[in-house]
Amino acid sequence: MNAFSFHHHPMLISSGARPSSRTFEGIRARLKELLGNAPLCIVTNREPIIFTQDQELKRPAGGVSQVLHALLERLGGVWIAARDSSGPGALLVPSDRGPGYLLQRIAIPGALQKPFYNGYSNGTLWPVFHGNRECVSHDSSEFIQYDRVNQMFARKVLDTLNSERPGLVWVHDYQLLRVAHWIRREAIPPLPPLAFFCHIPWPTPADFARIPEWQSLLEGILSYDIVGFQTPRHLELFLETVRAFLPEARLLSNGVVTWNNRQIRTSVMPVGIDPLHFKKLAHQPENESFARAFLEKVGIPEQRPFVISVDRMDYTKGLFERISILDSFFTFFPQWRGQISFLQIAVPTRSGQKTYKTYQDRLRTRIQELNDKWRLDEWIPLHSIETTLSQSHLAALYKMAKAAMVTSTNDGMNLVAQEFLACQGNGEGVLFLSRHTGSAHVLKGAVLIDPFHPIFSARQIHTGLMEKSSRKVSRNISLNQKIETNNLYGWMTRLLDMV
């Protein structure tokens, strides 16, 4: 039995009852039932750790990789990812919450990295999938490099199939659409189930048609056995795309696609968080101390209420739209001037791309204009901080905030919304959530705003802040119940239901 074998929990054996599928124990028992002692293999572009010069392992803040890290560190298994830092090609990632896992790292040559990641992944696929046509920068030669990197991932998966013999391979996101295609081209059957999860929105068929390589991408994703999406709308758009572009494919009523003599099972499986983990972080005294010191440093006095936003500095996050909302807010509700602050944690991303650098430079100018317009003595409306904070520190800030604002114009899910609510618990903090997020589908009953309608959104924020405390608490209790129902383990349960 190897280090990544799954073991029965003693309580499961003695009681004879299956635990809730929304718990770690339930997932562990289900994996044992489905896979026996075979490990789970997760595949992502981004690695879940950073190997420092001091040979320490640190975790980057947030993102898809950290959601999956929270799963695999407790379950054990194998993770395949592109190398983002120094250190050996294979690492045992330890955990104080479970057995840890084996990380197999792929060294992508520099000549491939830029056209694969900055080029095709984020110059073509990202803007097309998010409906940002004006941001598309397409180069057919970059697709060739994108496909070569997907082939490299496939070969690493094949090596892992021979060495670790995983019972399920779970590939993630738009950078790796064609990994299964290359696995099937180069593998000797039988194969374990190959699953894919699309963390970002699926585009309309009209937008998808703008990609010259649409056929290769569609055939790539249909090389998986299981394909999951965040919302019913994303799945609906995917099936519409298959129907429009692959007339030889058959779409059955249960979401099964029959194509190329294979059956591909599709499903909605919204990603979730571990709410208990965030609640614990939010209440740790050392995190609260950091949050107070941080607020003082950025210029928000302890007694002043603040509204928090946490995003990457990406055009899909509605940062310009957020400024328009704030401008409308102080225009129509000037009584808030000097009484409330907005704290924006916006970390630059992909700054090597001209589109992103231009966007980020323009955004900084617009923030300055807003603050100059509404400045009052020592008060400014928007404190924009371009510093990465850990989950622990963010959790304390979420707990202390009067509200959180999510302004994404098109977002697969947006877990900041769920993290904020988990840290609030039964508190009074209000979530102002863009209706253009997957979380708006999960968190029905949240206070919705629309980044494309700043006056409406400003009114929603004013009304929400003025609500009775009992109404705020009642809403948060209800929303946290939805988060628990759709938590991290419920997400994986939906995958295992398809295996």
Query: Per-residue pLDDT tens for 105-139?
Result: 999 999 999 999 999 999 999 999 999 999 999 99
**Residue 3: predicted pLDDT:** 34
**Residue 499: predicted pLDDT:** 94
CATH topology of 10-272+488-496 equal to that of 275-484?
Answer: yes
Closest CA to 235 of 438, 496, 408, 45: 438
Closest CA to 296 of 343, 338, 336, 346: 343
275-484, which class in CATH? alpha beta
**Residue 5 — pLDDT band, cuts 50, 70, 90?**
very low
pTM over 0.85: yes
Average pLDDT, the chain: 93
| 438 compared with 2, residue with greater pLDDT | 438
- How would DSSP label each residue in 466-497? HS-HHHHHHHHHHHHHHHHHTSHHHHHHHHHT
Chain centroid to CA 461: 25
Contacts with 17 (C-beta within 8 Å, 6 or more apart), sequence order = none
Domain ranges of the chain: 10-272+488-496, 275-484
25-39, 44-58, 141-155: least confidently modelled range = 44-58
Give yes or no for residue 8 having a pLDDT over 80. Answer: no
Mean pLDDT of the 339-345 span: 98
Q: Does domain 10-272+488-496 sit in CATH 3.40.50.2000? A: yes
Contacts with 197 (C-beta within 8 Å, 6 or more apart), sequence order = 170, 171, 172, 173, 227, 228, 229, 269, 271, 495
Give yes or no for residue 95 having a pLDDT over 50. Answer: yes
**Residue 426 — pLDDT band, cuts 50, 70, 90?**
very high
Three-class SS of residue 272?
coil
Which H/E stretch holds residue 343? Answer: strand 341-348
Give yes or no for residue 73 having a pLDDT over 60. Answer: yes
